[in-house]
Amino acid sequence: MSVARVTEISATSTTGFEDAVRVGIKRASETLRGVRSAWVKEQQVRVEDGGVIEYQVNMMVTFVLDD
Amino acid sequence: MSVARVTEISATSTTGFEDAVRVGIKRASETLRGVRSAWVKEQQVRVEDGGVIEYQVNMMVTFVLDD
Amino acid sequence: MSVARVTEISATSTTGFEDAVRVGIKRASETLRGVRSAWVKEQQVRVEDGGVIEYQVNMMVTFVLDD
Amino acid sequence: MSVARVTEISATSTTGFEDAVRVGIKRASETLRGVRSAWVKEQQVRVEDGGVIEYQVNMMVTFVLDD
Amino acid sequence: MSVARVTEISATSTTGFEDAVRVGIKRASETLRGVRSAWVKEQQVRVEDGGVIEYQVNMMVTFVLDD
Amino acid sequence: MSVARVTEISATSTTGFEDAVRVGIKRASETLRGVRSAWVKEQQVRVEDGGVIEYQVNMMVTFVLDD
Amino acid sequence: MSVARVTEISATSTTGFEDAVRVGIKRASETLRGVRSAWVKEQQVRVEDGGVIEYQVNMMVTFVLDD
Amino acid sequence: MSVARVTEISATSTTGFEDAVRVGIKRASETLRGVRSAWVKEQQVRVEDGGVIEYQVNMMVTFVLDD
Amino acid sequence: MSVARVTEISATSTTGFEDAVRVGIKRASETLRGVRSAWVKEQQVRVEDGGVIEYQVNMMVTFVLDD
Amino acid sequence: MSVARVTEISATSTTGFEDAVRVGIKRASETLRGVRSAWVKEQQVRVEDGGVIEYQVNMMVTFVLDD
Amino acid sequence: MSVARVTEISATSTTGFEDAVRVGIKRASETLRGVRSAWVKEQQVRVEDGGVIEYQVNMMVTFVLDD
Amino acid sequence: MSVARVTEISATSTTGFEDAVRVGIKRASETLRGVRSAWVKEQQVRVEDGGVIEYQVNMMVTFVLDD
């Protein structure tokens, strides 16, 4: 790897944090070529009536520009 | 939402981090009205004989005072 | 507990973050005696073809020197 | 001042950040006695159609327990 | 909201910090669709002859990719 | 321990930082049940005529809700 | 610009944060030559009877030593 | 300068950190117009057989949108 | 000093923070040669019945490998 | 208080951290007028033969320019 | 060393970061007596036409007041 | 890579920061097997008579336990 770019992606899932990571990586890979890794920056949940209804992650996604 | 308060809650589970989040949110919602979201601040595990016996999360829980 | 040491361990799993925590704790406990707890410092994923292929955690592992 | 407590308050305004601070302080003072100061922790805006529609601040509010 | 992207925008104004926020949001919304919120990361001023001549903010701007 | 809450307490003493910790813990324990630990977040002193006249600590105090 | 020094200045205003910035920059420029910029490090308010009575900013002020 | 965008770029060199900065700036300037500055966020090395084989920097690169 | 290593040590005392520092340094020096300095990273207390029963410090201890 | 300056002072003592704070405040007050408070930024110890021989604190000292 | 002061210096060089450090140390030593060490806080570059034209460092410079 | 350990190494050089990195990596590799990477945590210089006499880096060194 020679030069890469890092961008922040936020994604949600009703299932859990790892699913939110997978959702975000899949969506990012549709737009960005060469996605190689992601670093989890934040984890949050949305709550309704005492229950978790949504898991959210913010990730720093690295994608390679030149190899 | 107009004014909200944010408080730190720590919760544990023998199952995993997401379960600890749910345990903490459920318990917080018994005392605090209007819980809307939580931000995971720390994740820890307790260990015995080389195995994880407890998952702990510390969360910043937001609950609305006035809507 | 009287005196303990804290060391950073990085571990990976193809299954998920909690499994990576368990893998790292198990391996650390083979070398270090008295492992009591771990604090999750970082969570990352490796990506290939738009899918997550590896989950990695970095943990600060505490092990007791004297009790 | 002898002993004080510090709690996080989030407040919004359609006017600006300073107004959000005043809104939050006023509301907090209805519930908490002895509010003396606040430290601005975060500033955010909500956006619609390219325009700011709401200003939000998160503050650490200090209120005295005993004098 | 399902997946969003977060990008850093820096904007200046001769009037004040909130105006700089509005300037940056307006300009970002010309290029990026679906801007929903911004988090103020840094606030700076430029000075000449003992007076403030420019207010600058750096913001983390969130825009939705899919809803 | 199952679920705990963490709150910030600020306390002062004319004797020293550890005394300020003890003063704050004692006062917090009058209002909050189940105080178990505290993490020192900040240490400050007030000064008059080149001498320290007051020691202040800010602590994150953990108290158990359910055991 | 070749070599500059950075010093922390704290200033207050009864009007607002931007006025506190201007007050601090003006006062700093009386003592320090070549003030070029300032970075807002902290924003606080003092409160009395549920109202804000003073706005305070702490700034890192940069002034040029040699050009 | 009126509005700018800041993006994270990662670049490597077999020569040293400053060369990695230059490599990243040069490559970023091929895609992004108006690059004005970069702030070094992280410096890392890759190691083989006790020797450094690659220097990597992560930089926050600022490029102007409107002047 | 040419090359040194830094390791995190946690130590407790029933007397106070400085005693905990001394306890940890003494114990670390039994295992590690060439301990030269330590940086206090965290200070905590354990509480029972409204009183402090144990002072804990976490320190980054530096010990020289070669001189 | 209207405008104040904040400067970092490092001081050492063979007795303990609080004595180092007092030593630094006393020395700073000889040069700087209007010292009002100090915030402890770092605490370190120097070690020889397994024993602490010196306590060092770094403090952010605030002194008033105009009242 | 007994009491020292720490001040932030920013310096630039067209050659590289280490040269910028040396430039800043040399200039600081003309005004301040007893400079003993410096800690690199930030590293930045200015860019023109895809090339680095200036290296800048911000350093925390320690100088001894009394020995 | 499956499980790795991360340890902090401090190294000095009279030549420059990159040489200090190489010195530290070389020395660490004599004691630790499987060193793969290092992350530069801090950069400092020692000063005498207005000139830099020593460059120091603190690095987080990663070495693989099992492959």
Residues 6+ apart with CB under 8 A from K48: none
Q: Which two tokens stand for residue J28?
A: 């700073």
pLDDT at G1 over 60: no
Mean pLDDT of G14-25: 97
pLDDT given for residue D67 in this prediction: 60
Mean pLDDT of H29-48: 97
**Residue H25 is nearest to which of K16, K43, K50, comparing CB atoms?**
K50
pLDDT given for residue E65 in this prediction: 92
Neighbours of chain B (3+ CB pairs under 8 A): A, C, D, F
Q: Does L7 touch chain C (CB under 8 A)?
A: yes
| pLDDT per residue rounded down to tens, chain I (67 residues) | 589 999 999 999 999 999 999 999 999 999 999 999 999 999 999 999 999 999 999 999 999 997 6
Residues 6+ apart with CB under 8 A from G61: G6, G7, G8, G9, G24, G25, G28, G32, G35, G37, G38
Query: Which H or E element spans position J19?
Result: helix J17-31
pLDDT at J1 over 80: no
Report the residue of chain D nearest G15, measured CA to CA. Answer: D18
Mean pLDDT of H5-11: 98
pLDDT given for residue B14 in this prediction: 97
Q: Does I32 touch chain C (CB under 8 A)?
A: no
Query: Choosing among F2, F32, F63, which should be mutated to test the B contact, i.e. which has the most B CBs within 10 A?
Result: F2
Q: Reduced to 3 states, what is the DSSP secondary structure of residue C31?
A: helix
Q: Which of B5, C58, A34 is nearest to D63 (CA)?
A: B5
Q: What angle do CA I7, A60, A52 make, to 5 degrees?
A: 95
F49 conformational bin, left if phi > 0, alpha if psi -120 to 50, beta if neither: left
Give the Cα separation of A65 and H9 in Å (integer).
Answer: 10
Mean pLDDT of H32-51: 97
pLDDT given for residue A67 in this prediction: 60
Q: Does E32 touch chain D (CB under 8 A)?
A: no
Report the residue of chain H nearest E9, measured CA to CA. Answer: H5
Q: How many CB pairs under 8 A join H and K?
A: 38
Q: Which of D51, D9, D15, D55 is nearest to D32 (CA)?
A: D9
The tens digit of pLDDT for each residue in E9-34 reads 999 999 999 999 999 999 999 999 99
Contact D25 G46 (CB under 8 A): no
Give the Cα separation of A6 and A24 in Å (integer).
Answer: 14
- Give the start-end residues of each E strand in chain I: 3-13, 35-48, 51-66
**Residue D65 main-chain phi, psi, to 5 deg:** -90, -45
**Residue K21 is nearest to which of L45, L49, L50, comparing CB atoms?**
L45
C25 interaction partners in chain B (CB closer than 8 Å) = 45, 47, 50-52
* Helices vs. strands in chain L: H and E counts, helices first: 1, 3
Distance (Å) from the alpha carbon of D48 to chain E's nearest alpha carbon: 6
Q: How many CB pairs under 8 A join D and F?
A: 32
Q: How confident is the model at residue B2 (pLDDT cuts 50, 70, 90)?
A: confident
Cβ-contact I37, J44 below 8 angstroms: yes
Cβ-contact J58, J45 below 8 angstroms: no
Partners of A13 in the β-ladder: A55
G58 interaction partners in chain J (CB closer than 8 Å) = 6
Which amino acid appears at position C58 of this protein? N
The tens digit of pLDDT for each residue in A13-63 reads 999 999 999 999 999 999 999 999 999 999 999 999 999 999 999 999 999
Give the Cα separation of I38 and J48 in Å (integer).
Answer: 11
Q: Does I35 touch chain C (CB under 8 A)?
A: no
Q: Which of C22, B61, H33, E60 is nearest to F4 (CA)?
A: B61
Q: Which of A63, I10, I38, L10 is nearest to C6 (CA)?
A: I10
Half-sphere exposure at residue E45, Cβ-oriented, CA atoms within 13 angstroms = 31
Q: How confident is the model at residue F1 (pLDDT cuts 50, 70, 90)?
A: low
Query: Choosing among D46, D47, D52, D58, which should be mutated to test the E contact, i.e. which has the most E CBs within 10 A?
Result: D47
With 0-12 / 13-18 / 19 or more C-beta atoms within 10 angstroms meaning exposed / middle / buried, residue I67 is exposed
Q: Which two tokens stand for residue L6?
A: 């991360």
Q: How many CB pairs under 8 A join G and J?
A: 32
Q: Which two tokens stand for residue L28?
A: 């660490």
| pLDDT per residue rounded down to tens, chain K (67 residues) | 589 999 999 999 999 999 999 999 999 999 999 999 999 999 999 999 999 999 999 999 999 997 6
Q: Does G37 touch chain E (CB under 8 A)?
A: yes
Mean pLDDT of L6-19: 97
CA dihedral F13→F15→F18→F24, nearest 10 degrees, is -20
Give the Cα separation of B45 and B51 in Å (integer).
Answer: 10
- ipTM for the predicted complex comes to 0.95
Instruction: Give the torsion sign (CA, K9, K13, K17, K23).
Output: negative
**Residue H58 is nearest to which of A1, A6, A65, comparing CB atoms?**
A6
pLDDT given for residue D2 in this prediction: 84
Chains L and E touch (3+ CB pairs under 8 A): no
Give the Cα separation of G20 and D32 in Å (integer).
Answer: 27
Q: Does A21 touch chain C (CB under 8 A)?
A: yes
Could you tell me how far CA J11 lies from the centroid of its own chain?
5
Contact L65 C7 (CB under 8 A): no
Q: Does I66 touch chain L (CB under 8 A)?
A: yes
**Residue C27 is nearest to which of L3, L6, L7, comparing CB atoms?**
L3
Mean pLDDT of D38-65: 97
Q: Reduced to 3 states, what is the DSSP secondary structure of residue A23?
A: helix
The CA-based diameter of chain A, rounded to the nearest angstrom, is 49
Inter-CA distances, B22 with A57, F52, H33, L31, Å: 16, 47, 47, 45
SS3 content of chain H, % helix, strand, coil (to 5): 20, 60, 15
Distance (Å) from the alpha carbon of F49 to chain I's nearest alpha carbon: 27
The tens digit of pLDDT for each residue in J10-52 reads 999 999 999 999 999 999 999 999 999 999 999 999 999 999 9
pLDDT given for residue A26 in this prediction: 97
Domain D3-66: homologous superfamily in CATH: Flavin-binding protein dodecin (3.30.1660.10)
Strands I35-48 and L35-48: unpaired
Contact C2 I12 (CB under 8 A): yes
pLDDT given for residue A9 in this prediction: 98
Q: Which of D34, D31, D28, D24 is nearest to D2 (CA)?
A: D34
The number of residues in chain K equals 67
DSSP state of A15: S
pLDDT averaged over every residue in chain G? 95
Q: Does J64 touch chain G (CB under 8 A)?
A: no
Residues 6+ apart with CB under 8 A from C56: C10, C11, C12, C20, C42, C43, C44, C45, C46
Mean pLDDT of D37-60: 98
Give the Cα separation of D16 and D23 in Å (integer).
Answer: 11
The tens digit of pLDDT for each residue in F6-45 reads 999 999 999 999 999 999 999 999 999 999 999 999 999 9
Query: Choosing among A2, A32, A59, which should be mutated to test the H contact, i.e. which has the most H CBs within 10 A?
Result: A2
pLDDT given for residue G67 in this prediction: 60
Contact L25 H55 (CB under 8 A): no
pLDDT given for residue E2 in this prediction: 84
**Residue L23 main-chain phi, psi, to 5 deg:** -60, -45
Q: What angle do CA I58, I60, I66 make, to 5 degrees?
A: 150
pLDDT given for residue J2 in this prediction: 84
Give the Cα separation of L17 and H40 in Å (integer).
Answer: 15
The lowest-confidence range among B13-17, C59-63, H62-66 is H62-66
Contact H9 A5 (CB under 8 A): yes
SS3 content of chain C, % helix, strand, coil (to 5): 20, 60, 15
Query: Choosing among A1, A6, A58, A64, which should be mutated to test the H contact, i.e. which has the most H CBs within 10 A?
Result: A6
